[in-house]
Structure 1
């Protein structure tokens, strides 16, 4: 298939396919003397895999590393993709329900508690995301995930409520200076909270903040509380770490 045919089949742009070729992510089976890219069925299988990873938030650089690894197992990857997508669908269904209830609440048809307003915002972790990161070499994993998985449901509910409360408070002050007293008090609360579940040095805390911006999955989740929150937290966490790491 020619590049335009592939683009039409998949629903992506020709420019995107050209970019994938340029960075060595998806190299066509052959290129004719006239310069036309020709894609094989194997290329299409690889493209499908790329798009699955992309849908789950993996950056292109990491996708390239994963699928070019000699140990990459396509069947294993598809199985894990399915698990992660099912979990993602479950969370989205809950968020859709929350949106619908919020619309009714705004119209005065029902009353929502503060807790109900944030149902579906799950920042603990996708149980299969940890598996995926370990399998494909992503070291930027929240250190508290494993411990969270070992606590009871009631403790987890209390943890998540506290988690969301801190994020909501930080979102309210995200337009202030990261080194302001208010911002630093809020970030200290976040630091102390994280250390009830894990063991974060000041350097690790600062590194975690950087991940909030570097990893689009973290950015997307955090910014649901307020656009720009991930960057604000990154900056405030860096200030906090530098001030205390002396």
Structure 2
């Protein structure tokens, strides 16, 4: 590296001038100098770096290859011609870029579905909803639920699951819930009393099915749902449509199961 006297008329640019011209940080220029990737040809007697026109041209090439995503070691090999097949190196980088673009496209699709799920709840057409949930299903219910519960943690958890759920997976949820409804109806018909071991097992199964299908359900929250199952006309119609009196039996069974775990149904809250 040549040395020039301070104040001499030297054909060179300072680090700051190169940084401004190429849009590269001073720190990066120092690092490239330290690793031998782009060393300035001149230095003043005080130790300040000065870059010649040739140095700047090399830096310009480094910037181009860096923007293309090549690592510094690969850039050095390309610039120094260390047996590197430049077109092959660039094709390999192009392949990696294409893979990243594909991943970003998939990420964009996933983000769009997540946004829709948070805003709509169900990512199913009205026709799909009718086919999966049956003729009694009202396609306006998800929007009503979003309006009522959209700011809750449970809605966010539900939306996150809905975003990745296909129509076939929703059908599996519906089938699992229907199987549970039949099991509870059969137990009620068989005279199973709320609070009995069998009823408690069904209550626990209900909580597990609900938690895996929609959002995590605590026992206190389950008590609140039990009240709604019995008092809300739409829910009561569903359960009593499975078997007359099932809505009340389920609410009483949930209350009894909660007591068995130290939860007072009379004071239970949504938590």
* TM-score normalised over the length of structure 2: 0.41
Larger Rg: 2
Give the alignment's TM-score, normalised by structure 1: 0.45
